Structure 1
Amino acid sequence: MLRFFRTYVPYQYLSLLALLMLIRLPFVLHPLPLLIPELNWLLIGEQMSQGDLLYRDIWDSVSPLSALVYWGLDTLFGRSQLAYHAAATAVSIFQIAYFNYVTNNRDVYPDRYFWPGLIYMLFLHLSFDCLTLSPVLLSTSFLLLAFGTLIKQMDRRGATDEVFEVGFYIGLAALFYLPSALFILWAALSLLLYTGATFRQHSLSLFGFLFPIAVTVLFYYLNDSLDDFNRNLLASVFRVRQYSLTDFQALFTSLLIPLGLGVLGFLSLFNTVRSFVNFQQRVQQIMMLYFLTAVLTIVLMPFLAPMMFLSFVIPMAYFTVYYFENARKFWLAELSFTGAFGLMMLVFYQGALQLIPGIELGRLSSLRVQPSPLPADIRNRQVLIIGEDLSAYRQNRLATPYLSWDLAKYDLKNLDNYEAVINVFDHFRKDPPDYIVDHENVVEKLFQRAPALAAQYEPTPIAGVYRRKGV
């Protein structure tokens, strides 16, 4: 496969596209399981389509531009998992083509070939959860654009005012996935150490970063929702931790080969007999800075899953190219790539399709939506789930703003506070749920604090489930 993609001719883009579609073709016949984060994003898009404002009317920590994309998809296609997968494929095609284009067009490597795009395409398939339209995938597109603009500056004698674009792209990336804001440190260090950027140009880059964020803050200020924006997004990045969704075994298995090849590629730079021009050496150094910055984002992730590490694909793919390029014998490089490709596809398909029965490797069981605790005939009802298990929303709609349990705790776990009880009562009055699914045992205390609510609901035969009288 490496030999085939060694030729640098335009039609190879079609070959990459065909290979990408071939890998994902089985999921046209065998739909992927619905994931809890995916259901969460579907609910956000649905609620925004009904006129709700994110953070004020929907308590969740998803970043605003990602929510805007989900709103657009819901407006066009409704609550469609297939639409998310199709959009994610379109975003993946852009990233593969752009990464291959920019590395070759800027002569990032000594030779030109389609290996960068091929390896980037492979690493996008860390696990089947990477096939959905996650905020990290959307954010990575703008980090790629920032990388392309940054190395364009490094290829000149001095930086230009285009550094504004670098900051602007990172600002947009942060509005898709907030931890990506840390990459402004990567851009600032790269401009400082490897370009002749002046103080004015550093300021331009910072202004470009702050501009889209300031526009977003202004929007929420004008909608009298700045406190909601601060609590549900800015402050939550340090507090919201859905550790129950983490699958460490699947994460380790998915990252082992890409990360291992990236490390081997980085180490091969110290043993190669090939020489690199000054520009290529600087790109190697800023890509190492990128990787270190990406590591810092791990502590801000709401949960750990392969999809959350898609921003690592850029440096892993970049250094892996060097591993195959610096191989002493080409047949050994071809054999190594074939083995890595086969093992990654085995993990990928095993997680989604369970090719080998009885082995749960890569299944991401904690991330999947489980069967609903509500009877199957309860559909299209207004439901409030108190807890992290969102399965009852699969066939129903969200009532009240309390989507994220980590944020709902501000009120529902603070019922000894009079203001919290008033908030809950007001939300119930404006958008009363037909059913309440209580996984955290807070409803009885809520009913004690708000007897008017207790008079409206009755327990059902299902433990922890309450029905509004008259429904």
Structure 2
Amino acid sequence: MLSFFRSYFPYQYISLLALLLLVRLPLLLHPMPLLIPELNWLLVGEQMGHGHLLYRDIWDSVSPLSGLVYWGLNTLFGRSLLALHGAATLVSVFQIVYFNYLTNNRDVYSDRTFWPGLVYALFLHLSFDCLTLSPVLMSTSFLLLAFGTLAKQMERRGATDEVFEVGFYIGIAALFYLPSALFIIWAALSLVLYTGATFRQHSLSLFGFLFPIAVMVLFYYLNDGLDDFNRNLLSSVFRVRQYSLSDFQSLVAALLIPLGLGVLGFLSLFNTTSRYVNFQQRIQQIMMIWFGVAVLTIVLMPFLAPMVFLSFVPPMAYFSVYYFENVRKAWLAEAGFSIAFGLMMLLFYQGALGLIPRLELGRLSNLQVKASPLPAGIKNQRILIIGEDLSAYYQNYPATPYLNWDLAKYDLKNLDNYEAVINVFDNFRKDPPAYIVDHENVVGKLFQRAPALAARYEKTTTAGVYKRK
């Protein structure tokens, strides 16, 4: 496969995209497990489509531009998992084509080939959950655009006012996925160390970063939602930790080959430094900084799954290409890539389709939507789920703003506070749920604090489920 994509002809883009579709099409046409984060994003888009304002009327930590995309998809396709996967494929096509074009057009490597796009396409398939339109995937597109502008600055003797674009793209990336805001550190270090940018140009970059964020803050201020914006988004990056959704074995297995190839590619540079011009060496160094900043984002991730590590793909793909370039025997490089491709595809399809019975590796079982705890006849009802498991929403609709449990704790786990009780009572009054699914055993205390609510609900025969009278 490496030998086929070594030639640099425009028609190879068609081959690259054909390979992407060949890998993804069986899963796009086959029913796939619905993941809890996917259901959460679909619900956010659906609620926004009903006129609810994110953060003020929907307590969730998804970043605002991601929420806007999910609202748009819901408007066009409804609650469609296929729409998420189809849109993700389009975003993936952009990233693959742009990464391959950028590395070749800027002569980032010694030779022009389609290997960068090929390796990038492979690494976008860490696991089957990477098929979905996650905030990290959308955010990474703008980080790549920032990298493209930064690479243009590397080619020149000094930085230009285009550094505004670098900050602006990172600001947009942060509005898709808030931890991406840390990449302003990557941009600042790259400009300081490798471009000789002036104080004015650093200020331009910072202004570009803050501008889209300031516009979003102003929007929420004008819509009486600034406090909610701060609590449910800005502060949530330190509070929302759904680590019970994590599958560490699958995560390690998914990252093992890309990280291994990336490390081998990085180490191969120590024996071949003289082959590369100063510009290429600077690109190597800013990609090292990218990887370091990406590591810092781990502590801000709401849960751990392969999909949230997609911001690692550009540096891993970048250094992996060096590994295949620097292997002296072509057949060894071909064999190495074939083995990596085969193992990653095996894990990818195992996770989605369960090819090997009773093997949970790659299945991400903790992330999958499980059977609803509600009786089978309860459908198309407005309900409230108290807890992380959103499964009951699959055939129903959320009531009250309390969509994200980590944020709902602000009220529902603080019932000794009079203001919190008043907030809960008001939210129930505005949007009363027909059923309450209590996974966290808080309803008893809530009914003690608000007897008027207790009078409206009764227990059902299903444990933890309450029905409005």
Shorter-chain TM-score: what band? over 0.9
- Please give the alpha-carbon distance, in whole angstroms, between the structure 2 residues aligned to 1:28 and 1:189: 41
- Please give the alpha-carbon distance, in whole angstroms, between the structure 2 residues aligned to 1:273 and 1:135: 36
- Please give the alpha-carbon distance, in whole angstroms, between the structure 1 residues aligned to 2:196 and 2:465: 64
- Please give the alpha-carbon distance, in whole angstroms, between the structure 2 residues aligned to 1:361 and 1:22: 23
Following TM superposition, by how much is the alpha carbon of 1:358 offset from its aligned partner in structure 2, in angstroms? Answer: 1.7
The equivalent residue for 2:433 is: 433
| Partner AA of 2:287 in structure 1 | M
- Please give the alpha-carbon distance, in whole angstroms, between the structure 2 residues aligned to 1:151 and 1:166: 10
- Please give the alpha-carbon distance, in whole angstroms, between the structure 1 residues aligned to 2:414 and 2:55: 19
The equivalent residue for 1:172 is: 172
Give the conservation status (yes or no) of the 8 Å contact 2:438–2:465.
yes
> Residues 260-280 of structure 1: CA distance to partner in whole angstroms, max 9, x if unpaired?
000000000012376100000
- Please give the alpha-carbon distance, in whole angstroms, between the structure 1 residues aligned to 2:349 and 2:15: 21
Specify the SS of the correspondent of 1:448: helix
Superposed, which structure 2 residues align to 1:21-170 within 5 Å?
21-170=21-170
* Identity value in percent: 82
Unmatched tracts of structure 2, length 5 or more: none
The equivalent residue for 1:316 is: 316
State which drifts further: 375-384 or 365-374: 375-384
| Partner AA of 2:315 in structure 1 | P
Give the conservation status (yes or no) of the 8 Å contact 2:154–2:194.
yes
| Partner AA of 1:442 in structure 2 | V
The equivalent residue for 2:298 is: 298
Superposed, which structure 2 residues align to 1:415-434 within 5 Å?
415-434=415-434
Specify the SS of the correspondent of 1:437: strand
- Please give the alpha-carbon distance, in whole angstroms, between the structure 2 residues aligned to 1:430 and 1:404: 18
The equivalent residue for 1:3 is: 3
- Please give the alpha-carbon distance, in whole angstroms, between the structure 1 residues aligned to 2:178 and 2:414: 27
- Please give the alpha-carbon distance, in whole angstroms, between the structure 2 residues aligned to 1:432 and 1:65: 28
* Misfit runs of 4+, over 4 Å: none
Specify the SS of the correspondent of 2:270: coil
Superposed, which structure 2 residues align to 1:7-406 within 5 Å?
7-272=7-272, 275-406=275-406
- Please give the alpha-carbon distance, in whole angstroms, between the structure 2 residues aligned to 1:354 and 1:392: 24
| Partner AA of 1:61 in structure 2 | S
Closer/same/farther in 2, CA of residues 186 and 273 from structure 1, 3 Å limit: closer
> Residues 92-143 of structure 1: CA distance to partner in whole angstroms, max 9, x if unpaired?
0000000000000000001000000000000000000000000000000000
Q: TM-score, normalised by structure 2?
A: 0.99
> Residues 206-242 of structure 1: CA distance to partner in whole angstroms, max 9, x if unpaired?
0000000000000001111111000001111011100
- Please give the alpha-carbon distance, in whole angstroms, between the structure 2 residues aligned to 1:317 and 1:377: 49
> Residues 415-440 of structure 1: CA distance to partner in whole angstroms, max 9, x if unpaired?
11111110000000000000000001
| Partner AA of 2:120 in structure 1 | Y
Unmatched tracts of structure 1, length 5 or more: none
Give the conservation status (yes or no) of the 8 Å contact 2:258–2:316.
yes
> Residues 358-389 of structure 1: CA distance to partner in whole angstroms, max 9, x if unpaired?
21110000000000001222111000000001
Specify the SS of the correspondent of 1:394: helix
- Please give the alpha-carbon distance, in whole angstroms, between the structure 1 residues aligned to 2:78 and 2:326: 49
Give the conservation status (yes or no) of the 8 Å contact 2:28–2:82.
no
User: How many residue pairs get matched?
Assistant: 469
Specify the SS of the correspondent of 2:384: strand
| Partner AA of 2:330 in structure 1 | F
- Please give the alpha-carbon distance, in whole angstroms, between the structure 2 residues aligned to 1:389 and 1:13: 42
Following TM superposition, by how much is the alpha carbon of 1:196 offset from its aligned partner in structure 2, in angstroms? Answer: 2.0
- Please give the alpha-carbon distance, in whole angstroms, between the structure 1 residues aligned to 2:148 and 2:140: 12
| Partner AA of 2:451 in structure 1 | P
Specify the SS of the correspondent of 1:383: strand
> Residues 286-345 of structure 1: CA distance to partner in whole angstroms, max 9, x if unpaired?
000000000000000011000000000000000000000000101100000000000000
State which drifts further: 271-280 or 238-247: 271-280
The equivalent residue for 1:468 is: 468
Give the conservation status (yes or no) of the 8 Å contact 2:28–2:85.
no
- Please give the alpha-carbon distance, in whole angstroms, between the structure 2 residues aligned to 1:28 and 1:16: 18
Closer/same/farther in 2, CA of residues 217 and 273 from structure 1, 3 Å limit: closer
- Please give the alpha-carbon distance, in whole angstroms, between the structure 2 residues aligned to 1:107 and 1:215: 36
| Partner AA of 2:381 in structure 1 | R
- Please give the alpha-carbon distance, in whole angstroms, between the structure 1 residues aligned to 2:222 and 2:273: 60
- Please give the alpha-carbon distance, in whole angstroms, between the structure 2 residues aligned to 1:295 and 1:208: 24
| Partner AA of 1:268 in structure 2 | S
Following TM superposition, by how much is the alpha carbon of 1:29 offset from its aligned partner in structure 2, in angstroms? Answer: 3.4
- Please give the alpha-carbon distance, in whole angstroms, between the structure 2 residues aligned to 1:408 and 1:358: 36
Following TM superposition, by how much is the alpha carbon of 1:404 offset from its aligned partner in structure 2, in angstroms? Answer: 0.5
Specify the SS of the correspondent of 1:350: helix
RMSD in angstroms over aligned alpha carbons? 0.7
